Structure 1
């Protein structure tokens, strides 16, 4: 379990802005030096699903939440161009299938995998017409502990393969990009439209930029903490993941929301971006090699 950690600071009006972030490896570059950049804020570290719940309940002002959660409330808006996304293999979100994907009847979901769970359900239904019965795979349990036809693993524990033979293994990032020709955004900074954030949106981007400048140090710490090879961690943070919410990422978000909403997994109100008036992008479903987006 991730301890809730807070870095308390006050602004000149005595009001703290509450920022929620996660300590997973994939978001380390986004929070590098964030406390120093936002001396008027409290930084709360927790699981993504809990951050989403706290943002919905007003306990946080801005949070790095799973993208599917950003679709849940029409009063939400994206406040920064910093995000967690992929343009191909993501490496940390994988579907392990004991049968052909078109024959999956039961699906075990990694606890807390809201966006990845929605993505898996969308792809199975759209591509194979499959709507499996869902099970939960609690944190700390291995794939061998369940008998489901397929198991979704996310985050740090998905980076090392289970000691089991599988019929098919999907890297969800790679499957999405090859199917749609667009990047996939897993998480982004979201706040309510009426929430005054001072300079926080700018500082969130600055923290991302600082993190990318120190990615070697972050990789070293991550390697030691997770007992993973340094080269694996460095490649993950510099090749598998992208941290800029650009036009292609926005188009991928629009398409994912449209598909998720059509399956009752997300709200249909178009995303809004703070400080911008943007027409919705309606990309086509195409097949493309992931390298075309690099």
Structure 2
């Protein structure tokens, strides 16, 4: 692990990015020069990317913010993130019955931040006491029925939406509980990235967000209204309000641990 040394000019910076629809606008901008000459892209699910960052196998990752609790030191880079100022649509608890009748909740295995947020909401906002089960694989999706609910994130959550009468959106519930937006993932590194690189990296992120029609054109139709998803449900700018929401969530996490 080489987290403490600087980057050489010729060294490519290893960039980990979540392979969900929600990252496509940011990923799009990273596929054009000049940034492509300076990075190596590695795609995976959030929890796996977090492991890669911890183990020094990537230099910066768009990772669940909860992972920062496991890092002795870290930086949050640039001005973009995966966030929401209200309902996000793709991080939800799905159920066939209202929350107060739920007896068991499965928690998605693909993200630490969403699971931590869900546990906090269960105890402090919804104030319910169901049995909580950490899912291990995709089979838990078949268990969401009757009085058993489930937290599902990412593209799979968008696919679940037509199937359930009760959908509890975690970003919307957080906003209701705290008055603040929520940041699910940010560009986290374990060693300082060059300032010039961060400036260029931000420009690449902004480029993708400015070309949403091109981003959407590359994705098969029918999963969800992606124009709405990218321009209304998701909010990618890591502004002051999102930084406040992020700081509060990280404080909650540190109080729990």
TM over 0.5: yes
**2:227 maps to 1:234:** yes
* Aligned partner (choices 197, 200, 208) of residue 197 of structure 2: 200
Change (3 A) 1:34 1:162: closer
Q: Which structure would you say has the larger RCO, counting Cα contacts within 8 Å and 6 or more residues apart?
A: 2
Change (3 A) 1:87 1:198: closer
Contact 1:183 1:248 in 2 (8 A): yes
**Gap regions ≥5 residues in structure 2:** 1-6
What CA RMSD, in Å, does the superposition of the two structures yield over aligned residues? 2.3
* Aligned partner (choices 69, 72, 93) of residue 91 of structure 2: 93
Contact 2:107 2:132 in 1 (8 A): no
Residue in 1 aligned with 2:21? 25
Residue in 2 aligned with 1:157? 156
Matches within 5 A, 1:144-223: 144-146=142-144, 149-161=148-160, 164-166=163-165, 168-192=166-190, 194-197=191-194, 199-222=196-219
- Structure having the larger proportion of residues in helix: 2
Contact 2:88 2:172 in 1 (8 A): yes
Query: Cα offset for 1:59?
Result: 0.9
**Gap regions ≥5 residues in structure 1:** 1-10, 265-294
Q: Secondary structure at the match of 1:52?
A: helix
Q: Secondary structure at the match of 1:159?
A: helix
Q: Name segments (4+ residues, structure 1) moved above 6 Å.
A: none
- C-alpha distance in 2, partners of 1:23/1:124? 28
In the alignment of these two chains, the number of paired residues is 247
- C-alpha distance in 1, partners of 2:223/2:95? 24
Contact 2:95 2:144 in 1 (8 A): no
Query: Cα offset for 1:243?
Result: 0.8
Q: Secondary structure at the match of 2:223?
A: coil
Query: Cα offset for 1:254?
Result: 1.2
- C-alpha distance in 2, partners of 1:163/1:94? 13
